[in-house]
Amino acid sequence: MNGFDESFVLRASGTIVRCCIELGLSHPKPALLPDVPRIFAFAIEMLLLLAAASATEQELKILRDSVSLSAEQIADAHAIGMKEPDRVRLLCVETVLRSTQPQLRATCDAINFFTLATLGLTLGYGTFIGLDRWGDRLLVVHEFADVSQCERLGGILPFLRRYLFECLTIGYAAAPLELEANALTARVCVE
């Protein structure tokens, strides 16, 4: 990940400095300033690998314990542009639980992503849906849009790389991937 501009470093520095500390790197000192983008890039790559490993583990859990899509849901998945709806599994959970990794929790806190209010979460072809929203078409179709983005970008790691970059620089609510998923959901659900 190259080409950090100053505004990126400013926006992301709080999170990344915390992550550097969690990863056992010392707080970047002024004397190290020329190295800061390199340290940040390293910290982000470490975070990505942790996030992708955790997401893959969760995906396997969902694929093991869950249900496949109904005929109506498969039609919605096709409408959103998903290539392989047959691979998707939904798992109903009381609450969508965060990773226990301290670095990932710190990142989620810093970008206000994956809070207690998170109702659904997609990891590869596995989707958690909170019990209260099981059968909520708008939420499920939004998760399908995330699956389809993951397919398009080439899997969990490239998807998370782009997603994390957008959340760190622009913020979760205005992240282009989220806006695209919301627009696709609105289009499919009013058809």
DSSP 36-54: HHHHHHHHHHHHHHHHHHH
Count CA atoms closer than 13 A to 190's CA, side-chain side.
Answer: 6
Rounding to the nearest 10 degrees, give the CA dihedral for residues 38, 16, 43, 109: -160
Q: Pick from 22, 59, 76, 146: which binds Zn ion (CB under 5 A)?
A: 146
User: Could you tell me the two tokens for 152?
Assistant: 């398009």
Of 15-23, 97-105, 143-151, 168-176, the window that binds Zn ion (rule: CB under 5 A) is 143-151
Phi and psi torsions of 120, nearest 5°: -155, 155
Of 7-15, 111-119, 153-161, 177-185, the window that binds Zn ion (rule: CB under 5 A) is 177-185
Of 25-33, 85-93, 126-134, 173-181, the window that binds Zn ion (rule: CB under 5 A) is 173-181
Alpha helices in 66-175 (DSSP H): 71-80, 102-111, 137-153, 156-169
In the bound state with Zn ion, the residue whose beta carbon lies nearer, of 36 and 168, is 168
Query: How far apart are CB 72 and Zn ion at their closest, in Å?
Result: 21
Residue 122's beta-bridge partner residues? 127
In the bound state with Zn ion, the residue whose beta carbon lies nearer, of 37 and 120, is 120
CB count, 10 Å around CB of 73?
Answer: 18
In the bound state with Zn ion, the residue whose beta carbon lies nearer, of 101 and 182, is 182
Query: How far apart are CB 58 and Zn ion at their closest, in Å?
Result: 15
CA distance 165 to 161: 6
Q: How many residues bind Zn ion (CB under 5 A)?
A: 2
In the bound state with Zn ion, the residue whose beta carbon lies nearer, of 40 and 113, is 113
Query: How far apart are CB 146 and Zn ion at their closest, in Å?
Result: 4
Q: Pick from 39, 52, 181, 184: which binds Zn ion (CB under 5 A)?
A: 181
Query: How far apart are CB 12 and Zn ion at their closest, in Å?
Result: 20
3-state secondary structure of 33: helix
In the bound state with Zn ion, the residue whose beta carbon lies nearer, of 13 and 137, is 137
123 binds Zn ion (CB under 5 A): no
Q: Which residue is listed with tokens 């609105």? A: 186
147 binds Zn ion (CB under 5 A): no
- Chain contacts with Zn ion (rule: CB under 5 A): 146, 181
